[in-house]
A and B are shown apart, each in its own frame.
Chain A
Amino acid sequence: MIAVIDYGIGNLRSVQKGFEKVGFEAVVTAEKSMLDKAAGIVLPGVGAFRDAVNSLSKSGLGEEVIRQIAKGKPFLGICLGLHLLFTQSEEHGITQGLDVISGRVIGLPYGVKIPHMGWNQIKKFQDTPILVDIKEGASLYFVHSYHAVPEDKNVIGTTTEYGIEFVSSICKKNIFASQFHPEKSSKLGLKILRRFGEMTE
């Protein structure tokens, strides 16, 4: 079973249904014990960084996520779920994140339309097992106004161009987190969810 963390933010339904579509049971949950029981954890979300951090810390879900990641459980972060892993975000003032990945979340550059919304291409920075079905240059769905900047370049999975070349996914051991939305990226996105599902087996 895959646990999709419900922290009161964003569209959780599509992620859950996406996993079901590719044959994996997924449960939307706000229970810490479920994260422990689950074979894999998904932190989805679109929304404000600060609200998300507050909600994760109040419920203790944030600490549980850190604990489960440290235990080596497969983890998938999506969009805000990518940002939350970082040390801090500049979104509406500096806010501390879960600090699982060292780095910052900053705004997209001036001169491009904000939010970055739509299908954009990925460039592979390294071979990432979960993206094995996704070809270089494939288009995936994005919707965001901020992006993550990791300190360690070795965690970069893919990059994408929008005014600048930004980090569109990271991978580090059992962690994969993407700026794009697999659950909204049609067939290609479902392939990513399927790979994650297989990693939990």
Chain B
Amino acid sequence: MLAKRIIPCLDMKEGRVVKGVKFVNLRDAGDPVELAAAYDEAGADELTFLDITASHEKRDIMLDVARRTSEKVFMPFTIGGGIKSVEDIRMVLENGADKVSINTEAIKNPNLIHEASRKFGNQCIVVAIDAKAASSSQSPVTSRKDSELPTPACPPLAGLPTNKWEVFTHGGRNPTGLDAVEWAKKVESLGAGEILLTSMDRDGTKDGYDVELTKAITGAVNIPVIASGGAGKLEHFLEVIVEANADAVLAASLFHFGELSIKQVKEYLRDNGIPVRL
């Protein structure tokens, strides 16, 4: 049976892991390579590095991380953040990454997905989709209590019925007007091999993954979907896998701060009948 994947995500800036990782027995908790090795040891199935550096040395730093990680860690890893061109993708892959994750640039230039997947194969092109429930005064999103919804940072989408989600960029700040389900179908047709789906409503809340959103996306595409945003306890992982059919689950701080270990999550899933690699 194909195992459901558990993926820790490391946010990096200037080649260092940010958001503090409190792993025991690490000489340097900011070194992405050392952390990657620790997560490999801990039983992670894959790793995602998200680079948030905003300098022009960005690409070199990213390539250096890919190169050093691939020398030490023999598990699949993805690099995302600021990928803008086929050339960027080529260099990241050549330096040892297995996949690249594209977000903003895929929206600005959807053809990049097409070109890159034709060139390198769709298996290495992950499109990251950051989605937020579209709020409309006439037809509120019914999947959860209104009181739980954050105040929308943008005007409601016109003409969108209930259970709709809008794609955002820049950490949920910039609305794109794109419907998340339609966008997911589009990126699949363009050649994306996987979708990294983050609920901006749930990200950082520890209230659980957005099951409705994830279900809507997994029901619309035939490529693997990684659920992200909101993991806070064991039940959340099970819920999004069973109810929303997520292929993989991503979490960051929960693992970094040792609130839950990869092993705990996997054992819990296994005990509930979910195939995992243990």
B121 touches A185 (CB 8 A): no
Q: Which of B98-138 contact A (CB under 8 A)?
A: 98, 120-124
CB contacts (< 8 Å) of A117 on chain B: these are 123, 193-194, 224, 247
Counting CB contacts under 8 A, is B40 at the interface?
yes
Contact flags A135-164 to B (C-beta < 8 A → 1, else 0):
000010111110000000000000001100
Counting CB contacts under 8 A, is B45 at the interface?
yes
| Contact among A13, A46, A116, A144 for B2, CB-based, below 8 A | A116
A141, B4: Cα distance in complex, Å: 12
| Number of residues from A at the complex interface, CB < 8 A | 32
Contact flags B79-109 to A (C-beta < 8 A → 1, else 0):
0000000000000011111100000000000
User: Contacting chain A: which of B67-75, B159-167, B254-262?
Assistant: B67-75
Counting CB contacts under 8 A, is B76 at the interface?
yes
B123 touches A143 (CB 8 A): yes
Asked, given contacts A141-B76, A190-B74, whether A119 binds B277 with beta carbons under 8 Å apart, the answer is yes
Counting CB contacts under 8 A, is A21 at the interface?
yes
B222 touches A113 (CB 8 A): yes
CB contacts (< 8 Å) of A189 on chain B: these are 74
Main secondary structure of the interface of A (DSSP, over half): mixed
Asked, given contacts A11-B98, A118-B45, A121-B1, whether A113 binds B93 with beta carbons under 8 Å apart, the answer is no
A47, B117: Cα distance in complex, Å: 9
A115 touches B1 (CB 8 A): no
Q: Which of A80-136 contact B (CB under 8 A)?
A: 113-121
Report the minimal beta-carbon distance from A152 to chain B, rounded to whole angstroms.
27
B94 touches A13 (CB 8 A): yes
CB contacts (< 8 Å) of A185 on chain B: these are 74-75
CB contacts (< 8 Å) of A116 on chain B: these are 2
| Number of residues from B at the complex interface, CB < 8 A | 32
A21 touches B193 (CB 8 A): no
CB contacts (< 8 Å) of A11 on chain B: these are 70, 93-94, 96-98
B74 touches A14 (CB 8 A): yes
Asked, given contacts A47-B120, A118-B45, A161-B1, whether A183 binds B74 with beta carbons under 8 Å apart, the answer is yes
A76, B239: Cα distance in complex, Å: 41
A53, B96: Cα distance in complex, Å: 23
CB contacts (< 8 Å) of B96 on chain A: these are 11, 13-14, 17
Counting CB contacts under 8 A, is A48 at the interface?
yes
Counting CB contacts under 8 A, is A195 at the interface?
no
B5 touches A119 (CB 8 A): yes
B121 touches A48 (CB 8 A): yes
CB contacts (< 8 Å) of A59 on chain B: these are none
Contact flags A1-27 to B (C-beta < 8 A → 1, else 0):
000000000010110011001000000
| Contact among B67, B71, B247 for A118, CB-based, below 8 A | B247
B277 touches A139 (CB 8 A): yes
Counting CB contacts under 8 A, is B223 at the interface?
yes
Report the minimal beta-carbon distance from A48 to chain B, rounded to whole angstroms.
7
Counting CB contacts under 8 A, is A57 at the interface?
no
A85, B224: Cα distance in complex, Å: 28
Counting CB contacts under 8 A, is A174 at the interface?
no
Counting CB contacts under 8 A, is A32 at the interface?
no
Report the minimal beta-carbon distance from A56 to chain B, rounded to whole angstroms.
17
A46 touches B123 (CB 8 A): yes
CB contacts (< 8 Å) of A17 on chain B: these are 70-71, 74, 96
B74 touches A18 (CB 8 A): yes
Contact flags A161-201 to B (C-beta < 8 A → 1, else 0):
11000000000000000000001111001100000000000
Q: List 11 A-B contacts (CB under 8 A).
A: A11-B98, A13-B94, A17-B70, A47-B121, A115-B224, A117-B123, A117-B247, A120-B1, A162-B2, A183-B74, A184-B74
Interface residues of B (CB under 8 A from A): 1-5, 40, 45, 67, 70-71, 74-76, 93-98, 120-124, 193-194, 222-224, 247-248, 277
The 7 closest A-B pairs by CB, nearest first: A139-B277, A119-B277, A119-B3, A13-B96, A143-B123, A120-B2, A115-B123
8 additional A-B pairs beyond A113-B224, A118-B247, beta carbons within 8 Å, are A13-B70, A13-B94, A118-B3, A141-B76, A162-B2, A183-B74, A185-B75, A189-B74
